[in-house]
Amino acid sequence: MDVFILQLFNGISVSSILLLIALGLAITFGLMKVINMAHGELIMIGAYSTYLTQNLFHAYMPSSWFNWYFVISIPASFLIAFLFGLLLEVSLIRHLYGRPLDSLLATWGVGLLLQQLARSVFGAPNVAVTSPSWLNGGMRILSDVVLPYKRLFIVGLVAACLIAMYFYIYRSLEGRRMRAVMQNRDMAACLGVSTRRVDAMTFAIGSGIAGIAGCALTLMGPIGPSLGTYYIVDAFMVVVLGGVGKLVGTVLGALGIGVFNTMFEYWTNASLGKVLVFLCIVAFLQWRPSGFVAMRTRSLD
Amino acid sequence: MSQPLSILQCNDVTVEFDGFKAIQGMSLTLAKGELRFLIGPNGAGKTTMLDVICGKVRPSTGQVTFNGDIDITRKKEHQIAELGIGRKFQAPSIFPSMTVLENLEIALRQRRGVFATLFARLQAEEQKRMKRQLEMIGLADQEDSRAGGLSHGEKQWLEIGMMLLQEPDILLLDEPVAGMTDKETDKTGELLQEIARERSIVVVEHDMEFVRSFASKVTVMHEGKLLKEGTMEDVQRDDRVAEVYLGKRRDADASRSTA
Amino acid sequence: MAGYAAAAVALFAAPMFLSDFRLNLLAKFLAFAIVALGLDLIWGYTGILSLGHGIFFGIGAYAMAMYLKLEASGGRLPDFMGWSGLKELPLFWQPFSSFGFAVAMGIVMPALLALFLGFFTFRNRIRGVYFTILTQALVIITTTLLVGQQAFTGGTNGVTGFSKILGASLASPDTKRMLYFVTVLVLIAVFVACRYIVGSRFGKVLRAIRDGENRVRFIGYNPAMYQMVIFTLSAAFAGIAGMLFVLHVGIISPSMMGIVPSIEMVLWVAIGGRGTLIGAAMGAVLLNWAKSEFSTSYPEGWTYFLGAMFVIVVVFLPNGLTGLLGKIKLGKKRRVTKNEPTIEYPAM
């Protein structure tokens, strides 16, 4: 029982990180049919932003304040990744609408460039980010089940992001425009919605959330220029499994992959676990080829 | 088996999209060599009806049988096409990166398996048929140009040509004259009447002028149901049809002209 | 036709002009060109992007490497198995002591894996980006599996330490030259096969699938069958290339077939020009030549160059260098751009 609870918690913890990464992907893919392979590098940018915030606090702030750098680093990494995303959308992504496979290749190139840039600026070896001391330790819920605060914090952070996204998409004016463009781009444009602005904003917000994911990842271990590549394919699998168009699909996809991955890895080993998850995904797609949620249309393609 | 003369029978077909019933209990019988027009206001389910027949949409209830006793309700699109039901979509859908001739070549009635096409040679007889088709659709001097570069009307014609080379028993046409000039429209109508001598055709059409000139039998759909079936005169005389469809438009026209 | 003949003659004459080292490099590039041809069939002609060809290439390479390793170990247990504490040769390794079996497996195994993935995706109309992501996931799990099962696969280090093939020493220049000729012959054979396929009615159906898969269905073809066959064939070509690669390079490891090599293979085709066979093959040779010239002396610059190439080719040169050359030729003839033979890649 103890083991089961711990595994379940680990699974949810993995899922929450996957979800944070996949949220931005699912929205940009659903909205613009753009596959952003540089998403992993936006995570990396978020992680390095946290690293820089930490260094700035170290250098210029009284040491008693140091523990609070992390509170600043969350919005900081969001903002920096947001700006990178905006730049990327305006300079490149804009030219790739309607060509998902091409966008995949071009953004992969951007990812390579950003990784190399990070290597040139920060050096190839991983750097460590010191977690604030208030996140050390854990919560004891059973005699030998301890839930680390760091992981709990990440789950909470993801929940907060999810709620914020929900309100943005379903309760705000901007969000309504976004959904309009997603469902019928031409019609939305005719009604006076600036689709370009919506695209740019959405892409930037998705990138910003990737930045927050990067910030969260600094709690899990050292970070390096290729940090994002470990997560990007799994995050895309979440999108494939979840389907596009609704937040709930992405949440289910992330939970499915995260929990099953942890379970299988516990029962077998890391490499076989991954194989089993992949087989499960392929099997699931036999049943629902377009994921958990799918929008039906009447057009030929 | 029931009626040797009917080539297609749709019995009590219902289609649901996420709870919304696009078609409710629609039945349709098509005789061999018949030219049938399917009309109705927007959202009546005309295109969906064609989708059901050609296998693009699976009905939730009901049955579609082809040639008397072949149940095609659960068959896949390519199997239905192989049996002899051809479909032309509303927007011209040809293969833009291929030449006109190549478009026709893959449409030819032939064995369509992987190995058959891998070792297929263009027969002299096939070449003759393609040439004849090219003349008929008026694209003989453009056989080597990329289909993507043709004009809208030419694309429509190419697609009709491809359909004819498929030699289907039933042709399903969705607004074949949309975007055509008057001259092209007349030519298309004559072509349809000629084709209907050997094959059956179902045409979904909005252009009432076109329907009036060429229709022998008309089926009117409204909100997913059959409203009226008969000759154009029958249909025009029918009060309910006038109310949901022709009448409203006539009123609207009248009010506009008096205003 | 004359151009192809000249290229073939040049390839056969190359050993007379190149040093052994250069010849070995060229042989490796030609093996890559075989992968590029297969990839072009599935991506350039059918419009399906596979980021999993590294795996098919790698499986072919491992099949050959297993034979070479057993040949080199001369009846004893391969060294890395001993290090991992294995006492006897695993059952599935045993038949690989036969050269014929290894070669057959190097073709059949990648083909079967592709058939498996193709069967469960194309049939359900999982395509476009979805399919591409699944191929990438396939790469990840296969490489993790290879790394994880160290005792059977050599783990991260891969399989290396070969000495002879069919009794002939791999180190001797004569063997190397022989292997070079074999590679040239295989490349020519694959090229001719691809030419035939592309020119046949089958090839036209493939292009039609690229232009509009659903439309093809309503003509009466089953696109899933076509996609499965071409994907399987393309994987088999990659497997053949992998076997040749191991013979020239003397090592195969998971890092040579992972995510990055797989997507680089796509770049070869993109740079050369997708949708033309000669472009794909030239792209593979050209890019790898550039890589071997520059990547060791300017590793940072090379990565920047590679990243920039992805962006530039996709945005400005969708038909690659072949497309660029064609445009220049056309431009000289006439300044009309209306009916230029570019390929439109529709949204998927």
DSSP string, A239-293: HHHH-SS-HHHHHHHHHHHHHHHHHHHHHS-HHHHHHHHHHHHHHHHHH-TT-SS
Q: What is the pLDDT of residues A250-260, one digit of tens each?
A: 999 999 999 99
The token pair that represents C8 in the structure block: 């073939």
Please give, rounded to a whole number of angstroms, the shortest distance from the CA of C295 to a CA of chain B.
38
Q: What does the pLDDT look like over C141-186, one tens digit per residue?
A: 999 999 989 999 999 999 999 999 998 899 899 999 999 999 999 9
- Give all chains having 3 or more CB-to-CB distances under 8 Å with chain B: A, C
B87 touches chain C (CB under 8 A): yes
Distance CA C337, CA C339 (A): 6
User: The domain that contains B20 carries what CATH number?
Assistant: 3.40.50.300
Residue C212 lies in a domain: yes
Contact list in A for residue B51 (CB cut-off 8 A) is 298
Interchain CB distance below 8 Å, B93 and C212? yes
Q: Is residue B16 part of a domain?
A: yes
DSSP string, chain B: ---TTEEEEEEEEEEEETTEEEEEEEEEEEETT-EEEEE-STTSSHHHHHHHHHTSS--SEEEEEETTTEE-TT--HHHHHHHTEEEE-SS----TTSBHHHHHHHHSSS--SHHHHHT----HHHHHHHHHHHHHTT-GGGTTSBGGGS-HHHHHHHHHHHHHHT--SEEEEESTTTT--HHHHHHHHHHHHHHTTTSEEEEE---HHHHHHH-SEEEEEETTEEEEEE-HHHHHH-HHHIIIIIHHHHHHHHHHHH-
Of all residues in chain B, the one with the smallest CA distance to C212 is B95
For residue C338, tell me if it sits in a domain: no
Residue in B closest to A301 by C-alpha: B93
Mean pLDDT over the full length of chain B: 85
- Per the listing, tokens 């604030």 go with A132
Nearest CB to B77: which of C197, C201, C217?
Answer: C217
Chain C residues near residue B56 by CB distance under 8 angstroms: 218
Does C301 fall in a domain? yes
- One DSSP character per residue, A102-137 reads HHHHHHHHHHHHHHHHHHHHH-SS-B--PPPGGGSS
Average pLDDT, chain A: 88
Give the ipTM. 0.88
Predicted confidence (pLDDT) per residue in B83-130, tens digit = 999 998 888 789 999 999 999 999 998 889 899 999 988 889 999 999
Our CA dihedral for A222, A225, A231, A236, rounded to 10 degrees, sits at 160
The answer, yes or no, to whether residue B135 has pLDDT greater than 70, is yes
Candidates A34, A182, A37, A199; CA nearest to A100 is A34
> Which residues does chain B have within 8 Å of residue C217's beta carbon, measured at their own beta carbons?
76-78, 81
Mean pLDDT within B205-233: 85
**Is residue C119 a part of any domain in this protein?**
yes
B21 touching chain C per CB within 8 A = no
Contacts of C307 in chain A (CB under 8 A): 109-113, 116
Q: How many CB pairs under 8 A join B and C?
A: 88
Give the structural domain span for B206: 6-92+168-258
Nearest to B95 among C200, C207, C338 (CB): C207
**pLDDT for C107-118, tens place per residue?**
999 999 999 999
> Are the beta carbons of A282 and C148 separated by less than 8 Å?
no
Report CB contact under 8 Å: A275, C145.
yes
The interface residues of chain B toward chain C in range 170-189, judged by CB-CB distance below 8 A, are none
Mutate to test the interface with C, among A97, A101, A107, A113 (most CBs of C within 10 A): A101
- B126's CB contacts (< 8 A; 6+ apart) are B105, B108, B110
Which other chains touch chain C, taking contact as 3+ CB pairs less than 8 Å apart?
Answer: A, B
Min distance A292 CA to chain B CA atoms (Å): 14
Q: How many CB atoms lie within 10 A of CB C78?
A: 18
Q: Which of chain B's residues have a Cβ under 8 Å away from the Cβ of C222?
A: 76, 78, 112
Query: Residue C313 above 80 pLDDT?
Result: yes
| The predicted structure's pLDDT at residue C78 | 92
Residue of B nearest to A293 (CA): B18
The alpha-carbon gap from B48 to the nearest alpha carbon of chain A, in Å, equals 9
What tokens appear for B79 in the block? 């199997």
| Structural domain includes residue B134 | no
Cβ contact A33–C263 (<8 Å)? no
Which of A296, A298, A300 is opposite residue B93, by nearest beta carbon?
Answer: A300
Nearest CB to C208: which of B98, B122, B145? B98
pLDDT at B44 over 70: yes
Q: Are C155 and C145 in contact (CB under 8 A)?
A: no
Tell me the nearest-neighbour CA distance from B89 into chain C, angstroms: 9
| pTM for this predicted structure | 0.90
Give A296's contacts in chain B (Cβ within 8 Å). Answer: 17-18
Compute the distance between CA of residue B59 and CA of residue B17 in angstroms, rounded to an integer: 10
The band of C187, judged by pLDDT with boundaries at 50, 70 and 90, is very high
Q: What was the pLDDT predicted at B253?
A: 46
Query: How do B70-71 and B225-230 pair as beta strands?
Result: unpaired
- Crossing angle of the two packed helices C53-73 and C223-249, in degrees rounded to 10: 40
State the best of C115, C310, C312, C343 to mutate against chain A, taking most chain A CBs within 10 Å: C310
DSSP, res A223:
B
pLDDT at site C158:
94
| pLDDT value of position A295 | 60
Per-residue pLDDT, averaged over A28-48, amounts to 89
Residue A128 burial (CB count, 10 A): 11
Instruction: Name the token pair of C322.
Output: 């072949």
* Nearest CB partner across the interface for C344, out of B93, B97, B114: B97
In chain B, how many domains are there?
A: 1
Residue B184: pLDDT over 70 = yes
Structure-block tokens of residue C236: 């088999």
Tell me the shortest Cα–Cα distance from B10 to chain A, in angstroms: 21
Residue of B88, B112, B156 to mutate when probing chain C, most C C-beta within 10 A: B112
Asked if B114 lies within 8 A of C207 by C-beta distance, the reply is: no
* Record: contact C229-B114, CB cut-off 8 A: yes
Q: Which residues of A touch C313 (CB under 8 A)?
A: 105
- Closest Cα partner for A19 from A237, A292, A260? A237
Using a CB-CB cut-off of 8 Å, the residues of chain A touching C303 are 112-113, 115-116
Residue A234 parent element (H or E): helix A229-242
Tokens describing residue C279: 């472009």
Q: Can you tell me the distance from the alpha carbon of C341 to that of C347, in angstroms, rounded to the nearest whole number? A: 19
Question: What does each C-alpha distance from B84 to B53, B109, B204, C160, C231 come to in angstroms?
Answer: 11, 10, 19, 58, 29
The residues near C33 (Cβ < 8 Å, ≥ 6 apart) are C187, C280, C281, C282, C284, C285
Q: What are phi and psi of C161, to 5 degrees?
A: 80, 55
List the single range of B182-196, C56-70, C303-317 with lowest mean pLDDT: B182-196
CB B220 within 8 A of CB B208: no
Q: What residues of chain B lie within 8 A of the CB of A300, using their CB? A: 89, 91, 93
Helix (H) or strand (E) holding A207: helix A195-217
Candidates C33, C67, C47, C26; CA nearest to C238 is C33
In the stretch 261-300 of chain A, residues with CB closer than 8 A to chain B read: 296, 298, 300
Residue-level pLDDT at C332 = 64
Token pair listed for A249: 């699909």
Contact (CB<8Å) C120/A286: yes
Q: Which of A106, A239, A240 has the CB atom closest to C314's CB atom?
A: A106
AA identity, residue C220: G
Min Cα distance A226 → chain C (Å) is: 12
**Which A positions 21-40 lie with beta carbon below 8 A of chain C?**
29, 33, 35
Q: CA geometry: angle at C290 spanning C184 and C258, to 5°?
A: 80
C125 falls within a domain:
yes
Strand residue runs (E) in chain C = 159-160, 164-165, 168-169, 251-252
Task: Quote the distance between the C-alpha of residue A295 and its chain's center.
Answer: 23
Rounded to a whole number of angstroms, the distance from the CA of A293 to the nearest CA of chain B is 12
Statement: residue B245 has pLDDT above 80: no
- Whether B74 is covered by a domain: the verdict is yes
In whole numbers, what is the pLDDT of chain C averaged over residues? 91
CB A185 within 8 A of CB A233: no
The answer as to whether B152 is a domain residue is: no
Q: Is B132 inside a domain boundary?
A: no
Q: Does A5 touch chain C (CB under 8 A)?
A: no
List the structure tokens of B212: 């009036």
Query: B104 lies in a domain?
Result: no
C120 falls within a domain: yes
Note down the domain range covering C106: 2-333
Question: Considering only residues 200 to 259 of chain B, which have any Cβ-Cβ distance to chain C shorter than 8 Å?
Answer: none
Distance separating alpha carbons of residues B235 and B217, to the nearest angstrom? 9
Pick from B113, B115, B95: which is nearest to B105 by CA? B95
Give every CB contact of residue C246 below 8 A, 6+ residues apart in sequence.
Answer: C61, C64, C65, C68, C162, C252
CA gyration radius, chain C: 21
Contacts (Cβ under 8 Å, ≥6 apart) of B211: B37, B39, B205, B218, B232
Q: What is the mean pLDDT of residues B15-29?
A: 86
Give the SS3 label for residue A145. Answer: strand
Domain membership of residue C348 (yes or no) is no
CA C135 to chain centre: 14
Mean pLDDT confidence for B177-189? 83
Name the domain count of chain C.
Answer: 1
Identify which of C218, C338, C344 has the shortest CB distance to residue B96: C344
* Closest by Cβ to C311, choosing from A29, A106, A285: A106
CA angle C207, C325, C32 (to 5 degrees): 65
Mean pLDDT, residues A246-267: 90
Instruction: Say whether A298 and B93 touch across the interface (CB within 8 A).
Output: no
DSSP C297: T
Structure tokens at A80: 């920096």
**pLDDT of B201 above 80:** yes
* Helix (H) or strand (E) run with residue C173 in it: helix C173-199
pLDDT for B2? 43
- Nearest CB to A296; choose among B18, B89, B91: B18
Q: Residues of C at the B interface (Cβ-Cβ below 8 Å)?
A: 197, 200-202, 204-205, 207-208, 210-212, 214-223, 225-226, 229, 338-339, 341, 343-344, 346
Residue ranges per domain, chain A? Answer: 2-232
